[in-house]
């Protein structure tokens, strides 16, 4: 243990001596001024980029459509084969689903039953309205009859009083007066019974029956009558509404079944070429299973790689000339449509797609093709030599610009590296003066001496 402590002390002593020696050397070395070093600068300018890009690739379809029936069933017939041209709306196959057909028959029967029930309920409701109107008139008639009865009873009462006076002077026999009294009493009892019967029949047709529903009694007699009839037919009206709802539900269910049965015919949603068939006749097609794949034959894509350094020159809409050797080097014209946002790290390329019209359908997927991408429109770009950066990362870099012989640090957003020259996306403008191959001792804010200025535009 003592041996290790001794060695540790020796190491520490040597380290301290080295630090003291280094400090003395630094103190003895005089600092040099920035003006003592020559600084080379460059005036940067935008450059016009204009040319064409040549590549090769293949033809592929621009649009693929998978045909997946929404109903299951057994494939009864297939009317097309792979490679056939198909039109939008064309029947490609027919399925069979017995269970669906049984459900349709049941739904049809339910619909007929609902229609019959609605008709019966409607008839009963209309009959109830007529009965209500008849009852209303009957009560009116009985009220008139009761009024007439009351008049007759008053007449009989006066006649009895007269007879009573005659009886007092022996003007009529007692038996005659007694019979007259009996007749009056019978008529009086009959009137009371008829009045009670009338009151029984007015139940549901009284003003207080209207008030019981929370409504006020209409002053107009016809409106009062209509309201009373409505009160007395509420139950049948509710049954009628229920029957109507049942009919609507049955019609909706049958409509759904009809749509599902229609789906047993597999129809092409687009015009194109049948590219693939996945099942054969007689096989069971489970729900949501792909049966066919069709491709749009009116237009195709020419797919080809472009080198990473050329990516900056790509713009959607640029003209592309496509030559297909299999068709006798026939040339087709298209336009650039899709530019991949990623670059393959192994090949350093990115994939692009140009859309080409294929009205005659001669361009087929997989065909080899040579492409010429026209980038005739000149683009103004700003490039800086890689040596100008004192710090450079993948997407940014730092360098010095000179203004009135003073250094200023510029942080730039960078793009592609084109043969040692870095494209500047942000941070510099045309005409800026930058330092080339900056020395490590340079710092922002220093006053420098320009020994040489380069200008590649001259």
Domain residue ranges of the chain, discontinuous segments joined by +: 30-45+389-455, 49-63+296-377, 65-95+269-292, 100-249
Residue 225 phi/psi, 5-degree rounding, is -65, -45
Q: What is the pLDDT of residue 8?
A: 53
The pLDDT of residue 437 = 92
Res. 31: pLDDT tops 50: no
Six-digit token string for 217? 């009694």
Quick: pLDDT tens for 191-236.
Answer: 899 989 988 888 888 888 888 888 898 888 888 888 888 888 888 9
Average pLDDT over residues 86-110: 92
* Cβ-contact 355, 337 below 8 angstroms: yes
Using CA atoms, how far apart are residues 116 and 129, in angstroms rounded to an integer? 20
Q: Which of 65-69, 171-175, 266-270 has the lowest mean pLDDT?
A: 171-175
Lowest mean pLDDT among 46-50, 258-262, 267-271: 46-50
Please tell me the distance from the alpha carbon of residue 398 to that of residue 435, in angstroms, as a whole number: 11
Contact 418, 383 (CB under 8 A): yes
Task: Supply the pLDDT for residue 361.
Answer: 79
Position 414 pLDDT exceeds 80: yes
* The two three-digit tokens of residue 392, written as one number: 């450079």
pLDDT of residue 22: 41
Q: What is the reported pLDDT for 351?
A: 92
**% of the chain residues with pLDDT over 90:** 42
**Angstrom distance (rounded) from CA 183 to CA 175:** 12
From residue 43, give the alpha-carbon distance in Å to each of 254, 407, 414, 455. 81, 14, 18, 5
On whether the CB atoms of residues 108 and 251 are closer than 8 A, the answer is no
Q: Does domain 49-63+296-377 have CATH number 1.10.10.2120?
A: no
3 band by pLDDT with thresholds 50, 70 and 90? very low
Q: What is the pLDDT of residue 5?
A: 54
Residues 65-95+269-292, CATH architecture: Beta Barrel (2.40)
Question: For residue 74, what pLDDT is reported?
Answer: 94
Whether residue 347 contacts residue 57, with contact meaning beta carbons closer than 8 Å, is answered with no
Whether 346 and 304 have beta carbons less than 8 Å apart is answered as: no
Arithmetic mean of pLDDT, 129-144: 88
| Res 28: pLDDT | 39
Cβ atoms of 296 and 272 closer than 8 Å: yes
Q: What distance, in Å, lies between the first and last C-alpha atoms of the chain?
A: 75
Flag whether the pTM goes above 0.75.
no
Integer angstrom CA distances of residue 288 from 66, 71, 293, 351: 11, 7, 14, 33
Per the prediction, the chain carries an average pLDDT of 86
Label residue 34 exposed, middle or buried (CB < 10 Å: 0-12, 13-18, 19+): middle
Q: Which tens digits make up the pLDDT trace of 263-318?
A: 999 999 988 888 889 999 999 999 889 999 998 878 899 999 998 888 888 888 88
- Phi, psi of 404, deg, nearest 5: 55, 40
Structure tokens at 98: 């017995």
The pLDDT of residue 21 is 46
In this structure, CATH architecture of domain 30-45+389-455: Beta Barrel (2.40)
Compute the distance between CA of residue 292 and CA of residue 267 in angstroms, rounded to an integer.
Answer: 10
Asked if 228 contacts 132 with a C-beta cutoff of 8 angstroms, the reply is yes
- Give the strands of the sheet with 284-285, arranged side by side: 265-267, 91-96, 73-78, 284-285
């Amino acid at each position: 243990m003592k041996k290790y402590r001794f060695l540790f002390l020796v190491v520490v002593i040597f380290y301290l001596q080295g630090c003291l020696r280094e400090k003395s050397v630094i103190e003895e070395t005089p600092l040099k001024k920035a003006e003592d070093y020559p600084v080379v600068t460059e005036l940067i300018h935008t450059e016009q980029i204009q040319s064409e890009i040549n590549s090769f690739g293949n033809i592929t379809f621009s649009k693929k459509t998978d045909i997946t029936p929404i109903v299951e069933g057994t494939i009864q017939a297939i009317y097309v084969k792979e490679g056939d041209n198909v039109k939008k709306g064309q029947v490609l196959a027919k399925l069979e689903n017995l269970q669906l057909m049984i459900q349709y028959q049941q739904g049809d029967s339910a619909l007929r039953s609902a229609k019959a029930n609605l008709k019966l309920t409607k008839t009963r409701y209309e009959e109830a309205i007529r009965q209500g109107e008849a009852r209303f008139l009957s009560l009116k008639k009985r009220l008139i009859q009761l009024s007439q009865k009351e008049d007759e009873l008053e007449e009989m009462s006066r006649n009895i009083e007269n007879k009573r006076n005659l009886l007092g002077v022996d003007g009529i026999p007692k038996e005659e007066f007694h019979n007259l009294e009996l007749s009056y009493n019978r008529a009086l009892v009959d009137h009371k019974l008829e009045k009670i019967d009338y009151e029984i029949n007015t139940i549901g047709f009284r003003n207080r029956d209207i008030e019981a529903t929370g409504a006020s009694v209409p002053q107009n007699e016809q409106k009062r009558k209509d309201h009373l009839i409505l009160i007395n037919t509420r139950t049948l009206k509710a049954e009628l509404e229920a029957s109507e709802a049942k009919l609507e539900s049955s019609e909706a269910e049958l409509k759904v079944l009809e749509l599902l049965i229609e789906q047993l015919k597999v129809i092409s949603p687009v015009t194109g070429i049948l590219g693939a068939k996945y099942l054969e006749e007689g096989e069971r097609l489970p729900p949501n299973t792909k049966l066919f794949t069709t491709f749009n034959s009116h237009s195709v894509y020419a797919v080809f790689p472009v080198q990473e350094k050329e990516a900056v020159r790509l713009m959607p809409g640029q003209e592309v000339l496509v030559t297909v050797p299999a068709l006798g080097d026939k040339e087709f014209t298209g336009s650039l449509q899709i530019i991949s946002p990623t670059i393959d790290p192994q090949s350093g390329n990115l994939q692009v797609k140009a859309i080409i019209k294929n009205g005659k359908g001669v361009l087929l997927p997989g065909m080899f093709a040579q492409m010429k991408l026209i980038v005739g429109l000149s683009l103004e770009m700003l490039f800086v030599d890689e040596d100008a950066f004192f710090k450079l990362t993948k997407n940014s870099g730092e360098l010095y610009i000179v203004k009135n012989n003073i250094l200023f640090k510029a942080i730039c957003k960078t793009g592609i590296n084109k043969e040692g020259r870095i494209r500047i996306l942000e941070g510099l403008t045309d005409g800026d003066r930058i330092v080339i191959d900056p020395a490590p001792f340079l710092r922002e804010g220093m006053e420098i001496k320009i020994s040489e200025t380069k200008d590649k535009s001259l």
